Structure 1
Amino acid sequence: MKHRLVHWLLASALAAAGTVAAAPPAARELAYGPDPRQRVDLYAPAGAARAPIVVLVHGGAWAFGDKRSPGIVGAKLAHWREAGWLVASVNYRLLPQADPLIQAGDVARAVAAVQRAAREAGGDPDRVVLVGHSAGAHLVALLGAAPARLAAAGARRPLGVVALDSAAMDVVEMMELPRRPALYDRAFGRDRAFWTAASPYHQWTAEALPLLAVCSTRRPDACPQARALAARAAALGTHVTVRPEPLTHAAISRELGSRSAYTDAVDAFLRARFEAYRRD
């Protein structure tokens, strides 16, 4: 049973990552560090001026994936550019070179780089929301839990986070499961202090960003973890909204941007966060 679960998780992550595709002609690649993986693509709609920005972070078990894969850009890119939003898709260093905390630091540095380049690219550095899938959902949730990590990297405070189907909101609980998938051991190791440091649930603060947690009802763990995080957020006076979806782990990412009530709900969260900047 354990091996079947590992196989399913890896197959789902691979399907979500898709194959690496050439960037559309409008992409502009930025370097935010010396490593070849420390790159982010900017996709700006024609005539953009102070456009809101969606920062996308791919999944892949913290060990693979790419910013240009169809599973992460795909329908989202066309849909959000049509809405007039600038889309930034992030690569970051991977296992075994970089553990999840280092990866979160890379994403934070990428956000800062996007904000620095935003005005020239037609974007608004003050209207940014982070969107991640799978391992990427864990990374953006971790940054949203304690925005000081973003500030330390030179980033301005984003307006919110969308986490697409993470079962790693409470890393400690996950790592204490007797039959957890091996991919989690590879990512988080055996050090309980590291589990706590890399756990959005345990790192959640009163300064946390509003978060929408989309979770697959076809998995046994993602929605319970999302609901536990929502309870933790409420106890600290912050906001996590949970949206269960009857989609596979891969489809949670792949189908976002296609015409559906699911896409409408995510869009509504994004628009509300972009508009919140004008009210705050």
Structure 2
Amino acid sequence: MKTLLLSLAIGATLAATVLPSASAAPTPRAAPLPSGVREIHDVAYGAGKLERFDIYLPTQGAHDAPVIFMVHGGGWAHGDKTDANVVQNKVARWVPEGFILVSTDYPMLPEANPLQQAQFVGNALAAAQRMAGSWGGDRQRFILMGHSAGAHLVSLVSAEPALALERSAAPWLGTVALDSAAYDVTRIMQGPHLPLYDDAFGSDPAFWAAASPIVQLDGRIAPFFAVCSSLRRESCPQAQRFVAKADLLGTRASMQPEPLTHEEINADLGLPDAYTEAVEDFMRTLDPAVARRLDHGGQ
């Protein structure tokens, strides 16, 4: 009986932390592009078949445009830069306002572990910054954004900027982490957790530490905004611990709890609601050119 009760308790804990984007089930692809938006598809930033990103930009051309650099989730093993939840509402909201959005792929498990994936994200960021001028973008005005496993990767790159800067990336304006799957990998691995974490992080505590944003965070970083699902038991407490440490180290960091599912936090961003406005309020603080576009639509 005790074994049964323990199994039920662990099952309840895992149910509260489940990450829908970790599923291998197909995700709907984005709808046709909205009016005024064009796409450059599958631009290579490396030799691998998943070292590719897509660029969404205004059809009328852009000039010194801020760039949102988006990293998809999927449990470090699945997901795609073209998924509707990743790009559709974000493109429809921000590209007509004068932004460029880059959505990147990266090698997945088992080909690349999460620490290597963060390095691929650094490579992709550096390549996008080098190319930004040819799209009408400003390489000095990048905003990192990621969801789920992608939020873990942009949080890790933010906490340890050398993962990108040593790959010739330039500093970015700030980071928006959308319901990260892992701020403290060590804490996750030492408690009840989903099997996907074993697949991603293995059994080596040294690797857990190297892949933990909260462990790697040891100084002031670019402004950081953590969105968390208040419907997931550990999402907001993890985010709060990271934000609190960042704040103590001198970073302008904040957290935004949302009563949305893990999937909705990704899919709904860009809809005309208070959640999108909260993210935009953070973005406004990063740079006057970002604020102008949000307030005046492409000006």
Superposition TM-score, scaled by structure 1 size: 0.93
SS at match of 1:44: strand
Q: Distance in 1 between matches of 2:239 and 2:256?
A: 9
Report how far residue 26 of structure 1 moved.
1.9
**Does 2:23 align with 1:9?**
no
Equivalent position of 1:93 in the other structure: 107
Q: Distance in 1 between matches of 2:221 and 2:26?
A: 28
Equivalent position of 1:18 in the other structure: 27
Which of 93, 97, 100 is the matching residue for 1:83?
Answer: 97
Task: Give 1:230's aligned amino acid.
Answer: V
Question: Is residue 17–residue 66 contact of structure 1 (8 Å, CA) maintained in 2?
Answer: no
Equivalent position of 1:27 in the other structure: 39
Question: Is residue 53–residue 86 contact of structure 1 (8 Å, CA) maintained in 2?
Answer: yes
**What 5-or-longer segments of structure 2 have no aligned partner?**
1-7, 292-299
Q: Distance in 1 between matches of 2:218 and 2:162?
A: 10
Equivalent position of 1:243 in the other structure: 256
Which of 244, 248, 273 is the matching residue for 2:286?
Answer: 273
Equivalent position of 1:253 in the other structure: 266
Cα distance 1:250–1:15, how it changes in 2: closer, same or farther (>3 A)? farther
**Does 2:275 align with 1:262?**
yes
Q: Give CA deviations for 1:42-67 in whole Å, capped at 9, x if unaligned.
A: 11113211100000000000000000
Q: Distance in 2 between matches of 1:227 and 1:17?
A: 32
Report how far residue 15 of structure 1 moved.
9.5
* Mapping 1:95-114, distance limit 5 Å: 95-114=109-128
Question: Is residue 130–residue 160 contact of structure 1 (8 Å, CA) maintained in 2?
Answer: yes
SS at match of 1:104: helix
Equivalent position of 1:139 in the other structure: 153
SS at match of 2:84: coil
Report how far residue 147 of structure 1 moved.
1.2
Equivalent position of 2:5 in the other structure: none
Aligned-residue identity in percent: 46
Q: Distance in 1 between matches of 2:43 and 2:18?
A: 31
Cα distance 1:88–1:22, how it changes in 2: closer, same or farther (>3 A)? same
Q: Distance in 2 between matches of 1:17 and 1:266?
A: 28
Question: Is residue 23–residue 75 contact of structure 2 (8 Å, CA) maintained in 1?
Answer: no
Equivalent position of 1:119 in the other structure: 133
Cα distance 1:132–1:17, how it changes in 2: closer, same or farther (>3 A)? farther
Cα distance 1:197–1:66, how it changes in 2: closer, same or farther (>3 A)? same
* Mapping 1:28-67, distance limit 5 Å: 28=40, 29-45=42-58, 46-67=60-81
Task: Give 2:265's aligned amino acid.
Answer: I
Equivalent position of 1:227 in the other structure: 240
Q: Give CA deviations for 1:86-144 in whole Å, capped at 9, x if unaligned.
A: 00000000001100011001111111111111111010000001000000000000011
Q: Distance in 2 between matches of 1:187 and 1:34?
A: 23
SS at match of 2:226: strand
Which of 50, 63, 68 is the matching residue for 2:82?
Answer: 68
Q: Distance in 2 between matches of 1:270 and 1:15?
A: 32
Question: Is residue 61–residue 134 contact of structure 1 (8 Å, CA) maintained in 2?
Answer: yes
**What 5-or-longer segments of structure 1 have no aligned partner?**
none
**Does 2:217 align with 1:208?**
no
Task: Give 1:118's aligned amino acid.
Answer: A
Report how far residue 40 of structure 1 moved.
0.8
Q: Distance in 1 between matches of 2:26 and 2:123?
A: 22
Q: In angstroms, what is the RMSD of aligned CA positions?
A: 2.2
Q: Distance in 2 between matches of 1:199 and 1:17?
A: 28
Equivalent position of 2:178 in the other structure: 164
For the pair shown, which has the larger CA radius of gyration, 1 or 2?
Answer: 2
Cα distance 1:102–1:12, how it changes in 2: closer, same or farther (>3 A)? closer
Question: Is residue 55–residue 100 contact of structure 2 (8 Å, CA) maintained in 1?
Answer: yes
